[in-house]
């Protein structure tokens, strides 16, 4: 995965969905579907909080540049 530059357009389908492994999706399905744009949009604030804290995924925090890609997507209005 290559990190996006700060102002590069970020889309859910191309840049965000591929960050979530099958294991992430199945672990979190009782709360929301990480492979669904609408679910990730609805829960984006809680998801970002966990990613920043490093408490999710449960088996290892994301590197900071990957968290920044997620934040950039939120700031761009969470496009599909």
Residues binding ligand HEM (CB under 6 A): 20, 23-24, 27-28, 31, 43, 46-47, 50-51, 56-59
Q: Is the bond leading into 58 cis (omega within 30 degrees of zero)?
A: no
CA–CA gap between residue 34 and residue 16 (Å, rounded):
9
Q: Which is nearer to ligand HEM, 11 or 62 (CB)?
A: 62
Extract the tokens encoding 20: 């979530």
- Taking the complex as a whole, how short is the minimal distance between the CB of residue 44 and ligand HEM, in angstroms? 9
Q: How many residues does the chain have?
A: 80
Q: Which is nearer to ligand HEM, 9 or 54 (CB)?
A: 54
Q: Which is nearer to ligand HEM, 58 or 80 (CB)?
A: 58
- Taking the complex as a whole, how short is the minimal distance between the CB of residue 73 and ligand HEM, in angstroms? 13
Helix axes 64-75, 44-53, angle to 10 degrees: 160
């Amino acid at each position: 995965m290559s990190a996006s530059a700060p102002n590069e357009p970020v889309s859910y389908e191309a840049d965000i969905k591929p960050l979530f492994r099958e294991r992430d999706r199945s672990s979190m399905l009782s709360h929301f579907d990480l492979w669904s744009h609408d679910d990730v949009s609805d829960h984006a604030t809680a998801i970002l909080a966990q990613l920043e804290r490093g408490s999710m995924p449960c088996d290892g925090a994301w590197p900071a540049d990957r968290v920044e890609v997620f934040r950039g997507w939120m700031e761009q209005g969470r496009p599909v």
